[in-house]
Amino acid sequence: MNQRLQGKNVLITGASSGIGEACARHFAQAGSNLMLAARRQERLSSLKQELEAKHPAIKISTFELDVRVKAKVDAAIEHFGPVDILINNAGLVIGLDKLEDITEDSVDTMIDTNVKGLVFMTQAVLPGMRQRNRGHIINVGSVAGQQAYKNGTIYCASKAAVASITRALMHETIDTAIRISEINPGLVETEFSVVRFRGDKNRADSVYQGVVPLNGDDIAEIIIFTASRPEHVNIAEMLVFPTNQA
Protein backbone atom coordinates (compact mmCIF):
# COMPACT_ATOMS: atom_id res chain seq x y z
CA MET A 1 0.00 0.00 0.00
CA ASN A 2 1.21 3.51 -0.78
CA GLN A 3 -0.55 6.40 0.95
CA ARG A 4 -0.10 8.79 -1.98
CA LEU A 5 -1.34 6.29 -4.59
CA GLN A 6 -4.05 4.44 -2.67
CA GLY A 7 -7.49 5.04 -4.23
CA LYS A 8 -6.06 6.96 -7.20
CA ASN A 9 -7.54 6.13 -10.62
CA VAL A 10 -4.66 5.10 -12.84
CA LEU A 11 -5.11 4.62 -16.58
CA ILE A 12 -2.39 2.53 -18.23
CA THR A 13 -2.21 2.16 -22.02
CA GLY A 14 -0.44 -0.92 -23.34
CA ALA A 15 -1.31 -2.80 -20.15
CA SER A 16 -1.46 -6.16 -21.93
CA SER A 17 2.29 -6.85 -21.74
CA GLY A 18 5.75 -5.64 -20.74
CA ILE A 19 6.13 -2.33 -18.93
CA GLY A 20 2.39 -1.58 -18.93
CA GLU A 21 1.49 -4.94 -17.40
CA ALA A 22 4.23 -4.50 -14.77
CA CYS A 23 2.83 -1.03 -13.98
CA ALA A 24 -0.62 -2.59 -13.45
CA ARG A 25 0.81 -5.03 -10.90
CA HIS A 26 2.77 -2.32 -9.05
CA PHE A 27 -0.10 0.20 -8.93
CA ALA A 28 -2.43 -2.58 -7.72
CA GLN A 29 0.05 -3.35 -4.96
CA ALA A 30 0.06 0.37 -4.09
CA GLY A 31 -3.74 0.31 -3.69
CA SER A 32 -4.64 2.29 -6.85
CA ASN A 33 -7.72 1.60 -8.96
CA LEU A 34 -6.76 0.38 -12.42
CA MET A 35 -8.05 1.33 -15.85
CA LEU A 36 -6.34 -1.04 -18.24
CA ALA A 37 -6.30 -0.43 -21.99
CA ALA A 38 -4.80 -2.26 -24.98
CA ARG A 39 -5.96 -4.06 -28.11
CA ARG A 40 -5.62 -7.60 -26.69
CA GLN A 41 -8.71 -7.72 -24.47
CA GLU A 42 -8.17 -11.36 -23.44
CA ARG A 43 -4.82 -10.45 -21.89
CA LEU A 44 -6.42 -7.57 -20.00
CA SER A 45 -9.23 -9.83 -18.76
CA SER A 46 -6.89 -12.43 -17.31
CA LEU A 47 -4.72 -9.73 -15.71
CA LYS A 48 -7.86 -8.16 -14.19
CA GLN A 49 -8.96 -11.56 -12.84
CA GLU A 50 -5.55 -12.24 -11.31
CA LEU A 51 -5.21 -8.79 -9.71
CA GLU A 52 -8.81 -8.74 -8.40
CA ALA A 53 -8.13 -12.01 -6.58
CA LYS A 54 -4.93 -10.60 -5.04
CA HIS A 55 -6.23 -7.09 -4.28
CA PRO A 56 -9.98 -7.30 -3.59
CA ALA A 57 -10.15 -3.69 -2.30
CA ILE A 58 -9.26 -2.04 -5.62
CA LYS A 59 -11.49 -1.43 -8.66
CA ILE A 60 -10.24 -2.66 -12.02
CA SER A 61 -11.80 -1.96 -15.40
CA THR A 62 -10.57 -2.79 -18.87
CA PHE A 63 -11.18 -1.38 -22.33
CA GLU A 64 -10.24 -2.79 -25.71
CA LEU A 65 -8.44 0.21 -27.14
CA ASP A 66 -6.44 1.04 -30.23
CA VAL A 67 -4.83 4.38 -29.28
CA ARG A 68 -4.51 5.30 -32.96
CA VAL A 69 -8.28 5.78 -33.23
CA LYS A 70 -9.41 9.06 -31.63
CA ALA A 71 -13.06 8.01 -31.37
CA LYS A 72 -12.03 4.85 -29.48
CA VAL A 73 -9.84 6.90 -27.14
CA ASP A 74 -12.76 9.21 -26.36
CA ALA A 75 -15.02 6.19 -25.79
CA ALA A 76 -12.42 4.72 -23.41
CA ILE A 77 -12.37 7.87 -21.27
CA GLU A 78 -16.17 7.91 -21.26
CA HIS A 79 -16.08 4.27 -20.09
CA PHE A 80 -13.42 4.74 -17.41
CA GLY A 81 -14.47 8.09 -15.88
CA PRO A 82 -12.12 10.56 -14.12
CA VAL A 83 -8.40 9.78 -14.40
CA ASP A 84 -5.89 10.84 -11.73
CA ILE A 85 -2.79 9.37 -13.35
CA LEU A 86 -2.34 8.56 -17.04
CA ILE A 87 0.55 6.31 -18.04
CA ASN A 88 1.02 6.90 -21.77
CA ASN A 89 2.89 3.65 -22.34
CA ALA A 90 1.48 2.03 -25.53
CA GLY A 91 4.16 2.04 -28.20
CA LEU A 92 6.15 -0.03 -30.62
CA VAL A 93 8.91 -0.21 -33.19
CA ILE A 94 8.46 -2.06 -36.47
CA GLY A 95 11.64 -3.33 -38.11
CA LEU A 96 15.11 -1.83 -37.83
CA ASP A 97 15.52 -0.77 -41.43
CA LYS A 98 17.43 1.81 -43.44
CA LEU A 99 15.26 4.84 -44.14
CA GLU A 100 14.94 3.99 -47.84
CA ASP A 101 13.64 0.50 -46.94
CA ILE A 102 10.97 1.50 -44.40
CA THR A 103 7.47 0.91 -45.71
CA GLU A 104 4.79 3.57 -45.58
CA ASP A 105 2.75 1.22 -43.40
CA SER A 106 5.58 0.95 -40.82
CA VAL A 107 5.99 4.73 -40.75
CA ASP A 108 2.26 5.18 -40.20
CA THR A 109 2.09 2.49 -37.49
CA MET A 110 4.95 3.99 -35.46
CA ILE A 111 3.90 7.63 -35.80
CA ASP A 112 0.20 6.86 -35.27
CA THR A 113 0.82 4.73 -32.16
CA ASN A 114 3.75 6.48 -30.49
CA VAL A 115 2.84 10.08 -31.30
CA LYS A 116 -0.79 10.44 -32.34
CA GLY A 117 -1.99 7.86 -29.81
CA LEU A 118 -0.22 9.67 -26.98
CA VAL A 119 -1.67 12.99 -28.16
CA PHE A 120 -5.23 11.58 -28.37
CA MET A 121 -4.95 10.07 -24.87
CA THR A 122 -3.61 13.30 -23.43
CA GLN A 123 -6.30 15.39 -25.13
CA ALA A 124 -8.94 13.08 -23.69
CA VAL A 125 -7.82 13.29 -20.04
CA LEU A 126 -6.51 16.88 -19.77
CA PRO A 127 -9.86 18.76 -19.64
CA GLY A 128 -10.96 16.70 -16.60
CA MET A 129 -7.58 17.18 -14.93
CA ARG A 130 -7.76 20.93 -15.51
CA GLN A 131 -11.29 21.03 -14.06
CA ARG A 132 -10.14 19.22 -10.91
CA ASN A 133 -6.79 21.07 -10.95
CA ARG A 134 -4.88 17.88 -10.29
CA GLY A 135 -3.51 14.93 -12.19
CA HIS A 136 -0.32 13.41 -13.46
CA ILE A 137 0.57 12.37 -16.99
CA ILE A 138 3.58 10.08 -17.25
CA ASN A 139 4.84 9.50 -20.78
CA VAL A 140 6.99 6.48 -21.57
CA GLY A 141 9.56 7.82 -24.02
CA SER A 142 12.84 6.10 -24.80
CA VAL A 143 16.57 6.58 -24.94
CA ALA A 144 15.80 6.50 -28.69
CA GLY A 145 14.25 9.94 -28.30
CA GLN A 146 17.50 11.26 -26.81
CA GLN A 147 20.12 9.45 -28.93
CA ALA A 148 19.35 8.60 -32.56
CA TYR A 149 20.86 5.35 -33.78
CA LYS A 150 21.44 3.59 -37.11
CA ASN A 151 18.27 2.13 -38.70
CA GLY A 152 16.13 3.73 -36.00
CA THR A 153 15.08 6.85 -37.89
CA ILE A 154 11.30 6.78 -37.52
CA TYR A 155 11.18 5.18 -34.07
CA CYS A 156 13.80 7.67 -32.79
CA ALA A 157 11.84 10.53 -34.36
CA SER A 158 8.61 9.31 -32.76
CA LYS A 159 10.22 9.19 -29.30
CA ALA A 160 11.92 12.58 -29.84
CA ALA A 161 8.40 13.85 -30.49
CA VAL A 162 7.29 12.38 -27.15
CA ALA A 163 10.11 14.33 -25.45
CA SER A 164 9.06 17.57 -27.19
CA ILE A 165 5.38 17.05 -26.41
CA THR A 166 6.22 16.38 -22.74
CA ARG A 167 8.25 19.60 -22.45
CA ALA A 168 5.70 21.74 -24.32
CA LEU A 169 2.90 20.34 -22.19
CA MET A 170 4.76 21.28 -19.01
CA HIS A 171 4.58 24.89 -20.23
CA GLU A 172 0.90 24.56 -21.16
CA THR A 173 0.01 23.32 -17.66
CA ILE A 174 2.40 25.58 -15.75
CA ASP A 175 -0.48 27.48 -14.08
CA THR A 176 -2.09 24.27 -12.79
CA ALA A 177 -1.21 21.55 -10.26
CA ILE A 178 -1.03 18.97 -13.08
CA ARG A 179 2.29 17.17 -13.35
CA ILE A 180 3.83 16.03 -16.65
CA SER A 181 6.72 13.53 -16.59
CA GLU A 182 8.69 11.44 -19.03
CA ILE A 183 10.47 8.17 -18.28
CA ASN A 184 13.00 7.11 -20.89
CA PRO A 185 14.06 3.46 -20.68
CA GLY A 186 17.08 1.89 -22.34
CA LEU A 187 16.92 -1.81 -23.25
CA VAL A 188 14.03 -3.56 -21.52
CA GLU A 189 13.37 -7.24 -22.23
CA THR A 190 9.67 -7.44 -23.14
CA GLU A 191 7.65 -8.43 -26.22
CA PHE A 192 8.81 -5.13 -27.73
CA SER A 193 11.73 -6.75 -29.53
CA VAL A 194 9.57 -9.60 -30.84
CA VAL A 195 7.13 -7.04 -32.26
CA ARG A 196 10.11 -5.09 -33.71
CA PHE A 197 11.21 -8.17 -35.69
CA ARG A 198 7.67 -9.23 -36.55
CA GLY A 199 7.75 -12.39 -34.38
CA ASP A 200 11.34 -13.52 -35.16
CA LYS A 201 12.38 -14.58 -31.61
CA ASN A 202 16.04 -15.25 -32.52
CA ARG A 203 16.54 -11.77 -33.96
CA ALA A 204 14.61 -10.34 -31.03
CA ASP A 205 16.90 -12.05 -28.49
CA SER A 206 20.07 -10.99 -30.36
CA VAL A 207 19.37 -7.38 -29.34
CA TYR A 208 20.20 -8.21 -25.70
CA GLN A 209 23.61 -9.82 -26.36
CA GLY A 210 26.28 -8.48 -24.02
CA VAL A 211 23.75 -6.62 -21.88
CA VAL A 212 21.74 -7.61 -18.83
CA PRO A 213 18.55 -5.87 -19.93
CA LEU A 214 16.06 -4.14 -17.67
CA ASN A 215 12.71 -5.82 -17.14
CA GLY A 216 9.20 -4.39 -16.90
CA ASP A 217 9.37 -4.30 -13.09
CA ASP A 218 12.49 -2.11 -13.16
CA ILE A 219 10.62 0.58 -15.13
CA ALA A 220 7.35 0.13 -13.21
CA GLU A 221 9.24 0.80 -9.96
CA ILE A 222 10.59 4.06 -11.43
CA ILE A 223 7.08 5.03 -12.55
CA ILE A 224 5.68 4.29 -9.09
CA PHE A 225 8.45 6.43 -7.57
CA THR A 226 7.63 9.26 -10.01
CA ALA A 227 3.89 9.09 -9.33
CA SER A 228 4.29 8.96 -5.57
CA ARG A 229 6.41 12.11 -5.02
CA PRO A 230 4.68 14.87 -3.04
CA GLU A 231 2.40 17.00 -5.24
CA HIS A 232 4.85 19.92 -5.45
CA VAL A 233 7.57 17.63 -6.86
CA ASN A 234 7.60 16.75 -10.55
CA ILE A 235 10.17 14.39 -12.04
CA ALA A 236 10.31 16.02 -15.46
CA GLU A 237 12.37 13.27 -17.06
CA MET A 238 14.46 10.28 -16.19
CA LEU A 239 16.77 8.18 -18.36
CA VAL A 240 17.05 4.59 -17.12
CA PHE A 241 19.72 2.29 -18.57
CA PRO A 242 20.81 -1.27 -17.90
CA THR A 243 24.23 -1.06 -16.25
CA ASN A 244 25.98 -2.26 -19.44
CA GLN A 245 24.35 0.27 -21.75
CA ALA A 246 25.48 3.87 -22.35
**Catalytic machinery residues:** 155, 159
Helices 41-54 and 18-30 cross at an angle (nearest 10°) of: 20
What's the CA angle centered on 129, arms 13 and 4, to 5 degrees?
Answer: 75
Contact call for residue 140 and ligand NDP (CB under 6 A): yes
How many residues form the binding site for ligand NDP (CB under 6 A)? 29
Which of 32, 106, 142, 226 binds ligand NDP (CB under 6 A)? It is: 142
> Contacting ligand NDP (CB under 6 A), which of 10, 11, 12, 14?
14
CB of 137 to ligand NDP, least distance (A): 14
What is the rounded CA–CA span in Å between residue 181 and residue 2?
A: 20
The Cα 75–Cα 70 span in angstroms is 9
190 in contact with ligand NDP (CB under 6 A): yes
Nearest approach in angstroms of CB 133 to ligand NDP is: 28
Residue 201 lies near ligand NDP (rule: CB under 6 A): no
Q: How far is the CB of 175 from ligand NDP (least distance, A)?
A: 29
Q: Which of residues 25-84 bind ligand NDP (CB under 6 A)?
A: 38-40, 65-68
Residues that bind ligand NDP (CB under 6 A): 13-14, 16-20, 38-40, 65-68, 89-92, 113, 117, 140, 142, 185, 187-188, 190-192, 195
